[in-house]
């Protein structure tokens, strides 16, 4: 059964999303070696730079505007790719905004124009999606090597215990800056709302000073064990990307052994998630932290995230969906999926703490979960999630995140990746109004 959200003005949501993508375009010539940039920033007022996972989401959404802009977004991003494979989490193209950024954000730069950290590797999915929609083989051959190098960099530098799971060195490397699951190491637990942000800044400074003496040797940072975190969402995105790269290697005509390398690694990451992070008692996945790999028992949407992987164990899929995602006390709120379960003491649906990922619903996580639900045959649940996501953006506007009870918009205005709602509208056949509307827009992923 397909649910048509008759009561929502879908074309208004689609038009507003397209407006934001076009209005957020930043272009010019940077003082960084005179390089040209042309990309969509997350929000001109709040986030004027190019972020790694934002840009990958923007590229996917841009397919509903102009596929050439989607390619341009990724080409611009890949100008930041370093010879060893590293791709930074932020590219600070516009020098005029640097001072404000350094005052406002808790970041460490590797170079005046880019940060020393990463973000989830959504890039592989974005390249796969752009290729799937355009079949532009030249584009694939141009960008795929840098994507592969990045995934090999993650393996080389971020899996020192060789358990197949990538570790992050600070919370915002997952993109989930202030998620309460990190409170145990960031010392944010049980603080009054107004104390959370100042304490987060203090804790970030503490991490940066611990790392300072070792920045030249990034492989050593995890060994310090100050923030050694194997994040379920990051690793799910990594496993998804590895598998898609395998298929893309075949499309590109690369050696079969190279495709096999990525696909084998994808299977190993999935097995590690199932063996080390799955909790049969509660029926969810938990992140692992510290050298001793303790489980972080805070129930957030990331505990459900392996749903995105289409070869996840069927029993686990069933428990995640039936016991948790569709549980109205935890995640199935009027405008799902909240970033933190409503049963958690840290759940902050009204954004009182003024920091991110502590209860509001976001469109990028809904996008991933939507496709995961479809891959596992939950077509109706996926449609319902898409419907409520469109509704939420209709109520709240193209904002950064949303109150999961009312749909009210929160955070930055005119926020780029919220335009991923275009992908959901398109996939549901509700008419996103783009020129393509091609029937094959969402073929199933390449076979494994
Ligand atoms: C916030 C989000 C992060 C995002 C950035 C730019 O810091 O938490 O995930 O990449 O904004 O939009």
Identify the helix (H) or strand (E) that includes residue 427. helix 421-427
- Give the confidence band of 433 by pLDDT, cuts at 50, 70, 90: confident
Backbone φ, ψ for residue 230 (5° rounding): -95, 105
pLDDT-derived band at 437 (thresholds 50, 70, 90) equals low
Q: For residue 305, count other CB atoms closer than 10 A to its CB.
A: 25
Q: Which residue do the tokens 């080390």 mark?
A: 276
Mean pLDDT of 64-83: 98
Maximum distance among all Cα pairs of the chain, rounded to whole angstroms: 58
**If you measure from the C-alpha of residue 419 to the centroid of ligand 1, how many angstroms do you get, rounded to a whole number?**
15
Query: In this structure, what are the phi and psi dihedrals at residue 404, rounded to the nearest 5 degrees?
Result: -70, -10
| Atom number of ligand 1 nearest to Cα 178 | 8
d(CA 306, CA 246): 19
Distance from the alpha carbon of residue 448 to the mean position of ligand 1, in angstroms: 32
Pocket test for ligand 1, best of 21, 40, 47 (most atoms within 8 A of CB): 47
In this predicted structure, the answer to whether residue 281 has a pLDDT above a threshold of 60 is: yes
Average pLDDT, the chain: 95
Name which of 366, 363, 367 is nearest 400 in CA terms.
363
Ligand 1 mutation target, pool 53, 54, 118, 197, most atoms within 8 A of CB: 54
Query: Where does the pLDDT of residue 1 fall: very low under 50, low under 70, confident under 90, or very high at 90 and above?
Result: very low
Reported as a single tens digit per residue, the pLDDT across 297-322 is 999 999 999 999 999 999 999 999 99
* % the chain with pLDDT above 90: 93
Please give the pLDDT value at position 436.
Answer: 66
162: number of Cβ within 10 Å: 7
pLDDT of residue 213: 94
47 Cβ inside 6 Å of ligand 1: yes
Mean pLDDT on 399-410: 98
* Structure-token pair, residue 424: 């959901």
- Separation of 7 CA from ligand 1 center, angstroms? 31
Q: Answer whether 42 contacts ligand 1 (Cβ < 6 A).
A: yes
pLDDT for residue 441: 39
Helix (H) or strand (E) holding 261: helix 256-272
- Residue whose Cα lies nearest atom 2 of ligand 1: it is 175
| Centre of ligand 1 from the C-alpha of residue 3, in Å | 31
Residue 172 in this model has a pLDDT that exceeds 60: yes
């Amino acid at each position: 059964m397909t649910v048509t959200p008759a009561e929502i003005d879908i074309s208004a949501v689609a038009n507003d999303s397209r407006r934001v993508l076009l209005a957020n375009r930043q272009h010019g010539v940077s003082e960084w070696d005179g390089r040209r940039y042309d990309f969509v920033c997350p929000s001109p007022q709040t986030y004027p730079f190019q972020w790694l996972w934002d840009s990958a989401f923007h590229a996917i959404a841009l397919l509903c505007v102009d596929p050439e802009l989607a390619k341009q977004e990724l080409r611009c991003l890949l100008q930041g790719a370093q010879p060893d494979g590293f791709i930074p989490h932020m590219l600070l193209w516009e020098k005029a905004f640097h001072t404000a950024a350094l005052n406002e954000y808790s970041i460490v730069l590797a170079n005046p124009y880019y940060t020393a950290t990463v973000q989830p590797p959504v890039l592989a999915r974005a390249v796969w999606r752009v290729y799937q929609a355009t079949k532009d083989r030249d584009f694939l051959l141009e960008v795929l090597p840098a994507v592969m190098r990045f995934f090999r960099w993650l393996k080389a530098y971020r899996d020192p215990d060789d358990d197949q799971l990538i570790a992050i060195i600070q919370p915002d490397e997952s993109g989930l800056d202030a998620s309460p699951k990190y409170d145990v190491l960031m010392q944010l637990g049980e603080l009054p709302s107004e104390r959370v942000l100042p304490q987060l800044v203090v804790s970030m400074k503490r991490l940066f000073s611990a790392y300072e003496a070792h920045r030249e040797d990034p492989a050593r940072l995890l060994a310090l064990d100050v923030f050694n975190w194997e994040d379920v969402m990051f690793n799910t995105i990594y496993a998804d990307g590895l598998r898609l790269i395998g298929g893309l290697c075949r499309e590109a005509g690369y050696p079969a052994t190279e495709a096999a390398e990525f696909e084998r690694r994808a299977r190993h990451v999935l097995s590690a998630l199932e063996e080390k992070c799955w909790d049969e008692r509660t029926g969810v996945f938990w992140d692992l932290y510290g050298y001793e790999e303790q489980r972080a028992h805070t129930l957030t949407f990331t505990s459900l995230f392996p749903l995105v992987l289409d070869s996840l164990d069927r029993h686990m899929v069933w428990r995640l969906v039936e016991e948790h995602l569709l549980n109205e006390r935890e995640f199935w709120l009027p405008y799902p999926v909240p970033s933190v379960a409503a049963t958690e003491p840290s759940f902050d649906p009204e954004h009182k703490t003024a920091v991110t990922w502590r209860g509001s619903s976001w469109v990028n996580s809904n996008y991933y979960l939507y496709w995961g639900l479809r891959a596992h045959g939950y077509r109706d649940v996926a449609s319902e999630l898409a419907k409520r996501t469109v509704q939420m953006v209709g109520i709240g506007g193209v904002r950064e995140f949303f109150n999961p009870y009312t749909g009210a918009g929160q955070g930055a205005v005119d926020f780029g990746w919220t335009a991923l709602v275009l992908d959901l509208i398109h996939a549901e056949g509700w008419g996103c109004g783009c020129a393509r509307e091609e029937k094959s827009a969402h073929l199933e992923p390449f076979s494994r």
